[in-house]
A = this chain, B = another copy of it.
Amino acid sequence: MIEIANPEEMQETIIGLKKSGKRIGVVPTMGYLHEGHRALIRDARKENELVVLTIFVNPAQFGQGEDFDRYPRDIERDRQAAIDEQVDYIFHPSIGDMYPEGYATYVDVENITETLEGEWRPGHFRGVTTIVLKLFQITQPDNAYFGQKDAQQLMVIKKMVSDLHIPVKIKRVPTVREKDGLALSSRNVYLSPGERQQAAVLYRALQRAEVDIRRGERSRDIIVGMIRDMIKAVGNISIDYVEIVDPVTFRKVQFLENNREHCIALAVRIGKVRLIDNIFV
């Protein structure tokens, strides 16, 4: 495994490798790898001759007062995970290399970024699309792997890629969960043991919604109300949103249609930790 920090060096290396016809799979992450990331890497490993793992905690996607400074980092452990999963290259640039003084260029995807995470984290998706476009230019992937857990992010990136004709396939990888259903997240490490137990309610509520829908429930208000009640019953969890949306446009849905997929997405705060989750139904 080779580690590269310099963007130009990474780009030149990749351009050289592409000439030999190797397919390149890229897994963009903010590091502090867990089983969810490993699932992305494993899919990349299966479908490409070369796997590049990028590790960069991207300041542009964190808002004022968010957890950029205390976002967990452990490059030593990440390095070992990358070796275990047979990653070929780790790209982990410095902030100064990615956003040098005078940096001025940003990518905006309109509409789909206006709901849910876009409403609660203004500027977040602008930071995401900008860094992902930069990483794609540097690492020139044939395939790039993103987790279903960040469902809206995944669709925002798909929209950007399609609108800008970026020659990469975006691959969606299912959410990996703990035994009690909690979606894996680097931020879970900051939950106290009590909070960690409470957090299991999120997936329980989503699963209950799935059952209700299978039994015929079609009203957004009733489904969302049920989820909110289940979460509130646990106490100590503050809800940012619970919403049912179209899984492509992320527009809010008032009544579920038969024979169409919907995404139920939520975001909550447990203590200082913000968690998101979703299911497709």
Which positions in A face B, CB cutoff 8 Å?
7-8, 11, 15, 19, 21, 102-112, 129, 133-134, 137-138, 140, 159-160, 163-167
Across-interface contacts of A105 in B (CB, < 8 A): 107-110, 129, 159-160, 163-164
CA distance A110 to B111 in the complex (A): 21
Q: Which residue of B lies closest to A139 (CB)?
A: B165
Instruction: Give, as a whole number of angstroms, the nearest-CB distance from A49 to chain B.
Output: 14
**Which residue in B137, B163, B167 is a CB contact (below 8 Å) of A103?**
B163
Instruction: Give, as a whole number of angstroms, the nearest-CB distance from A249 to chain B.
Output: 8
Q: CB distance A134 to B164 under 8 Å?
A: yes
Q: CB distance A104 to B164 under 8 Å?
A: no
Across-interface contacts of A159 in B (CB, < 8 A): 104-105
Q: CB distance A15 to B167 under 8 Å?
A: yes
Q: Which residue of B lies closest to A138 (CB)?
A: B165
CA distance A104 to B112 in the complex (A): 9
Q: Which residue of B lies closest to A142 (CB)?
A: B15
Instruction: Give, as a whole number of angstroms, the nearest-CB distance from A21 to chain B.
Output: 7
Give me 9 A-to-B residue pairs in the complex whose CB atoms sit less than 8 angstroms apart, sorted by A's number. A11-B165, A19-B19, A106-B107, A107-B108, A108-B108, A133-B164, A134-B163, A137-B166, A138-B165
CA distance A51 to B123 in the complex (A): 39
Given A105-B109, A107-B108; 11 other pairs, CB 8 A cutoff? A8-B165, A102-B111, A103-B163, A104-B109, A105-B159, A105-B160, A108-B108, A134-B164, A134-B165, A137-B164, A140-B167
Instruction: Give, as a whole number of angstroms, the nearest-CB distance from A18 to chain B.
Output: 8
